[in-house]
């Protein structure tokens, strides 16, 4: 079966760095995505990786290793507004998105 694993919840301090991991087992691979979802709101797109390596976008970076079925989202200089759930999703061979359950990130002052 297809499976996306990510931690349920993480806590970090304002101004610090946090890394949210995601491992996956899917039927084929056409890219890995990270979305941010604030409580009660819609998911919004953060990043897309299809090749191995690190993609940097401001305070957020996303890493992919296809051979290990592994990705992480790195958030630097954490701000209170970064408190949200972070969703990892993989596009399988049928171009369907398979979603993880999300990691709830709590930022403390």
Partner 1 sequence: IAGITQAPTSQILAAGRRMTLRCTQDMRHNAMYWYRQDLGLGLRLIHYSNTAGTTGKGEVPDGYSVSRANTDDFPLTLASAVPSQTSVYFCASSERGDTHQAFFGQGTRLTVV
Specify whether the backbone of 5 is left (phi greater than 0), alpha (psi in -120 to 50) or beta.
beta
What residue ranges bind partner 1 (CB under 8 A)? 4, 30-31, 33, 41-45, 48, 87, 89, 91, 95-102
How far apart are alpha carbons 46 and 36 in whole angstroms?
6
Nearer to partner 1, 72 or 102 (CB): 102
Nearer to partner 1, 19 or 44 (CB): 44
Nearer to partner 1, 43 or 69 (CB): 43
Q: How far is the CB of 67 from partner 1 (least distance, A)?
A: 21
Nearer to partner 1, 78 or 105 (CB): 105
Give the closest residue to 4 by CA, choosing from 67, 56, 17, 21.
Answer: 21
Q: How far is the CB of 87 from partner 1 (least distance, A)?
A: 7
Q: How far is the CB of 77 from partner 1 (least distance, A)?
A: 25
Q: How far is the CB of 72 from partner 1 (least distance, A)?
A: 17
Specify whether the backbone of 77 is left (phi greater than 0), alpha (psi in -120 to 50) or beta.
left
């Amino acid at each position: 079966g297809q499976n996306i694993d990510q931690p349920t919840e993480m806590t970090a301090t304002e101004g610090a760095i946090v890394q949210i991991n995601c491992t996956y087992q899917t039927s084929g691979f056409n890219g890995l995505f990270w979305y941010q979802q604030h409580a009660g709101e819609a998911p919004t797109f953060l990043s897309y990786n299809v090749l191995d390596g690190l993609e940097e976008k401001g305070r957020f970076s996303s890493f992919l290793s296809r051979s290990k079925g592994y990705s992480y989202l790195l958030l630097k200089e954490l701000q209170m507004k970064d408190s949200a759930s972070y969703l990892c999703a993989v596009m399988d061979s049928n171009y369907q998105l398979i979603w993880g359950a999300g990691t709830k990130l709590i930022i403390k002052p």
